[in-house]
Amino acid sequence: YPYEAKEKELHCSKSNKCVSSFKRTYNNDEIPVAYLFYGTDFKGDNLPLPRKSNHLWALLHEESPLNNFLFSHSSGIKLFN
């Protein structure tokens, strides 16, 4: 991630299955879901809304978050767990 162009199943542990995907089909699943956003490409107009209480949002950024204007505001950076 973030360079995987296709859906990929990852085996995270013996009891869990992780799926890396650009698809939004998992947004309606009952299982907890984590969204990993790539900070360099992040745009605030394409979020998986509505955000459910069991959804985790994480930010992967290889540089300072302040290099993206949206993250220079506390309301932008506070979107992530």
Mean pLDDT by 10 residues, the chain (81 residues): 61 69 70 78 84 86 82 84 64
What is the pLDDT, as a whole number, of residue 49? 84
What is the pLDDT, as a whole number, of residue 44? 85
Residue 38 lies in a domain: yes
Count Cα neighbours of 33 within 13 Å in the Cβ-side half-sphere.
20
What is the pLDDT, as a whole number, of residue 41? 80
Tokens for 52? 């459910």
Q: Which residues constitute the domain of residue 69?
A: 8-25+32-78
DSSP-derived secondary structure letter, 65: G
Query: In the chain, how many domains are there?
Result: 1
Residue 3 lies in a domain: no
Kindly report the backbone phi and psi dihedral angles of residue 77, in degrees, each rounded to the nearest multiple of 5, phi listed first.
-75, -25
What is the pLDDT, as a whole number, of residue 67? 81
Residue 2 lies in a domain: no
Residue 53 lies in a domain: yes
Residue 16 lies in a domain: yes
What is the pLDDT, as a whole number, of residue 53? 85
What is the pLDDT, as a whole number, of residue 11? 66
Residue 45 lies in a domain: yes
Residue 57 lies in a domain: yes
